[in-house]
Structure 1
């Protein structure tokens, strides 16, 4: 499966996630786990005894899963915490041994309240579990794309032929840009953002003070990008990094300094307008800091 096919399948899977509540999400989770873990056994509610607080398990390792898929996770935070404890307590009374416990939440790529993670950690420590964690949509997506291609196709369907689809942009870069453009400016009310110390890298790459200010300003908005990447699968961050590095490698052949920087901005922007270019510079700031684009100063040359 190539990158474009994988991107299209990811969009299809995300649509499934956004449309899945309650039983439909549990069925999607089960279809992924049936391939991912050969010993996984799903549990379906049975009459008035229900599922005994167990939506699926791996008996050999004492690993249990419970699924929660509200229509709106942001409005369901109190019920999520309550269900976590209720389900785990019920599980402990009816199944043994419980060595690992995973509470699977359909967050629809919005993330979950940090208190839920803290409550899970309390359960892990109090009951001496080998592992316990909250799994969200991005985790299920990561598991999905570790499967064989034919297994992925069985769950999500065959990817459409890109050549037969017009006027649809399947690139990860443009998805990220579109998402960030819809968000408000980060206010930084707590004043905790610390700008990276990249003066040496700026100088080493012959970049001007103007470009340095562009990058510093972009860093103030990196929270929006980091939150998006944190709530999405590894594939998104990897594709984004690879795309920026690819454009950098292409443009640096005959450009350097500010000319190289602005050529990248132009190449990466879906439209040559300031709002799009500002978002592109935010993305570039992340990968400039992590040294995926532009050269890191070498100690011997600094001396």
Structure 2
């Protein structure tokens, strides 16, 4: 396959996803594209409020807003105009009145998922008029674009290294281009975001009892040199039902069976390598950080990642078991 085969598969795939999943997949593309030209693409945590910023290159003042309706209706044109106005107004206020996001806007890119359709016509030049109005209001100058997935094709065609396109395809879990048994960024992110969502749901219900059955005894924490963070570990273990709920959901994927087993084995391999030179709290923290590297972390995923690591810890798949310590001292 040549680079254009990869590009078309990526664009076709993007047209088939909607809602927040479209935003996540766009992140996979833009992160690797900008990295290939020596720039850092950032994407705020959409669960905590993104301050009208769905992704940006702070150094260049480039900001993205992504609009992906779950279904297209006859009012799409009006919806796009309303969303464009709301998002651009909000972003300018946050940048120039609240002094956030580096304090400058040089280019605003409004990316719409029109699926298999073209962008609605703009014969009345709505966007030009709105931008001119806002430029005058704030006394600034900036460029803007209203685009759909054709924009993704446009920027990917600038990439000459086919390995970057392969990497993007793998992170997007495009079946025709990758080994379905591999562990990639998308599989890990699916699980971590699911855990994060379950934690958020759980936090809204006071005094909710856990359905999780603990496996490891409390002294496993001590014998592995984790006493100083024992309270944190015990607190997490008491809520590990949020992980089991995510595992049950994620393993229902028909195409990618046993997803959790592959993520678990991936983490065990990381643990085995790190444990050759590290132990205790340093090993625990290094394991979390090392696995996060494979998610191209942009959002704050550390807390749900801790839950995943502690779940595997409690199941006795990583760190020394109490029985093993007892056997070695007899």
Q: TM-score, normalised by structure 2?
A: 0.43
